[in-house]
Structure 1
Amino acid sequence: MVSAHPAATAAQPHSDTLQKEFAAAAAGHQVPLSVLLGLSYLESRWDSHGGAPSVTGGYGPMHLTDAATTLAALPHHSDAGEDARGDAGRPHAVPRTALPAPATLPARLRTLERAASLTGLSAKALRESSAANVQGGAALLAAEQKRLGLPLSADPADWYGAVAGYSGASDAATATTFAHDVFDAIRTGRRRTTDTGQSITLAASPQLAPRTEQIGQLKLGTVTDTGVECPRSVACESIPAPYQQLDGKDYGNHDLADRPASQKVDFIVVHDTEGTWETTIKLIKDPAYVSWNYTVRSGDGHIAQHVPTKDVAWHAGNWFVNAKSVGIEHEGFLAQPDAWYTEEMYSTSARLVRYLAQKLGIPLDRQHIVGHDNVPGTVPSTIKGMHTDPGPYWDWDHYFELMGKPFRPTAGPFAPMVTIRPDYEDNETAYTGCTGPNEPCPAHGSGAVRLYTEPREDAPLIRDIGLRPDGSPSTTDVNDTGARASTGQQFAVADRLRGWTAIWYLGQKAWFRNPWWDPVTLGARGKLVTPRAGLSEIPVYGRAYPEAGAYPAGVPVQTVTPLPYKLLAGQAYVLGQTSPSEYLWATTFEPAGHRVVRGKDVYYEIQFGHRVAFVKASDVSVRPSGR
Structure 2
Amino acid sequence: MRLRRARTALCALAVTAALALTGHAAPAAAAPPPPAPDASLGAAFARAAAVHDVPRDLLVAVGYGETRLDGHAGLPSQDNGYGVMHLVSNSERRTLERAARLTGASVAELRRDTGANIDGAAAVLRALADEAGLDAADRDRVDAWYPVAARYGAPGSKTAGRLYADAVYDVLGEGVRARVAGGEQVTVAPREVRPRRGPYARTRPGASLGQAGDYPSALWNPAYSGNYAAGRGSAITTVVVHVTQGSYAGSISWFQNPDAQVSAHYVVRSSDGQITQSVRESDTAWHARSANPYSVGVEHEGYVSDPAWFTDAMYRSSAALTRHLTAKYGIPRDRAHIVGHNEVPGNDHTDPGPRWDWAYYMSLVRGDDGAGGTPFPTWGTDVSVRQQPSQDSARVATLPGPTSVRVACQVRGAPVEYDGYSNDAWSYLPDYGGYVSNLFIDVTDAWLPGVPTC
- Settle same-fold status: TM greater than 0.5: yes
Residues 208, 217 of structure 2: 8 Å contact kept: no
Which residue matches 2:180?
194
Residues 307, 380 of structure 2: 8 Å contact kept: no
Which residue matches 1:306?
279
- Aligned residue among 356, 360, 370 for 2:321: 356
CA apart distance, 1:200: 1.2
Which residue matches 2:442?
none
**Is 2:292 the partner of 1:293?**
no
Residues 42, 181 of structure 1: 8 Å contact kept: yes
Distance in 1, matches of 2:74 and 2:307, equals 14
Which is strand-richer, 1 or 2? Answer: 1
Distance in 2, matches of 1:211 and 1:315, equals 36
Which residue matches 1:69?
none
**Is 2:11 the partner of 1:38?**
no
Distance in 2, matches of 1:202 and 1:168, equals 23
Which residue matches 2:118?
134
**Is 2:95 the partner of 1:111?**
yes
Residues 253, 314 of structure 1: 8 Å contact kept: no
Which is helix-richer, 1 or 2? Answer: 2
- Which residue identity is paired with 2:340? G
Identify if the C-alpha distance between structure 1 residues 235 and 31 changes in structure 2 by more than 3 Å, giving closer, same or farther.
farther
Residues 70, 83 of structure 2: 8 Å contact kept: yes
Distance in 1, matches of 2:357 and 2:348, equals 18
Which residue matches 1:77?
none
Distance in 1, matches of 2:215 and 2:311, equals 15
Which residue matches 2:50?
27
CA apart distance, 1:196: 4.4
**Is 2:193 the partner of 1:208?**
yes
CA apart distance, 1:119: 1.6
Residues 504-544 of structure 1, C-alpha deviations (whole Å, 9 max, x = no match): xxxxxxxxxxx9431452314459xxxxxxxxxxxxxxxxx
Which residue matches 2:233?
253
Which residue matches 1:396?
356
- Aligned residue among 220, 228, 240 for 1:269: 240
Distance in 1, matches of 2:325 and 2:49, equals 45
Distance in 2, matches of 1:7 and 1:51, equals 28
The number of aligned residues is 337
Which residue matches 2:163?
177
CA apart distance, 1:162: 0.3
- Which residue identity is paired with 1:47? D
CA apart distance, 1:232: 7.2
Residues 534-582 of structure 1, C-alpha deviations (whole Å, 9 max, x = no match): xxxxxxxxxxxxxxxxxxxxxxxxxxxxxxxxxxxxxxxxxxxxxxxxx
Q: TM-score, normalised by structure 2?
A: 0.55
Which structure carries more relative contact order (alpha carbon 8 Å, separation 6+)?
Answer: 2
Residues 54, 341 of structure 1: 8 Å contact kept: no
CA apart distance, 1:128: 2.5
Which residue matches 1:328?
298
Residues 134-183 of structure 1, C-alpha deviations (whole Å, 9 max, x = no match): 11101111111111112242111111000001013311110000000011
Trace 1:436-447 onto structure 2 (pairs within 5 A): none
CA apart distance, 1:121: 2.4
- The unaligned stretches of length 5 or more in structure 1 are 1-5, 67-104, 245-251, 258-264, 285-291, 376-384, 427-514, 528-627
Distance in 2, matches of 1:366 and 1:425, equals 32
Distance in 2, matches of 1:519 and 1:296, equals 30
Distance in 1, matches of 2:58 and 2:219, equals 21
Distance in 2, matches of 1:29 and 1:386, equals 47
Identify if the C-alpha distance between structure 1 residues 16 and 516 changes in structure 2 by more than 3 Å, giving closer, same or farther.
farther
- Aligned residue among 128, 135, 150 for 2:134: 150
- Which residue identity is paired with 2:119? Q
Which residue matches 1:517?
411
CA apart distance, 1:27: 1.5
Question: What value does the CA root-mean-square deviation take over the aligned residues?
Answer: 5.7
Residues 96-152 of structure 1, C-alpha deviations (whole Å, 9 max, x = no match): xxxxxxxxx4141x2111111112223233223211111110111111111111224
Which residue matches 2:401?
none
- The unaligned stretches of length 5 or more in structure 2 are 1-15, 22-35, 246-253, 328-332, 384-408, 422-454
Identity of aligned residues (%): 29
CA apart distance, 1:61: 1.1
Distance in 1, matches of 2:312 and 2:380, equals 19
Residues 305-341 of structure 1, C-alpha deviations (whole Å, 9 max, x = no match): 32337x898988999x998x74325799x9xx88x99
CA apart distance, 1:20: 1.3
- Partner of 2:164, secondary structure, is helix
**Is 2:70 the partner of 1:47?**
yes
Identify if the C-alpha distance between structure 1 residues 132 and 373 changes in structure 2 by more than 3 Å, giving closer, same or farther.
closer
Residues 295, 304 of structure 1: 8 Å contact kept: yes
Q: Relative to structure 2, which stretch is displaced further, 233-242 or 178-187?
A: 233-242
CA apart distance, 1:31: 1.1
Distance in 2, matches of 1:410 and 1:223, equals 33
CA apart distance, 1:40: 0.5
Distance in 1, matches of 2:276 and 2:215, equals 9
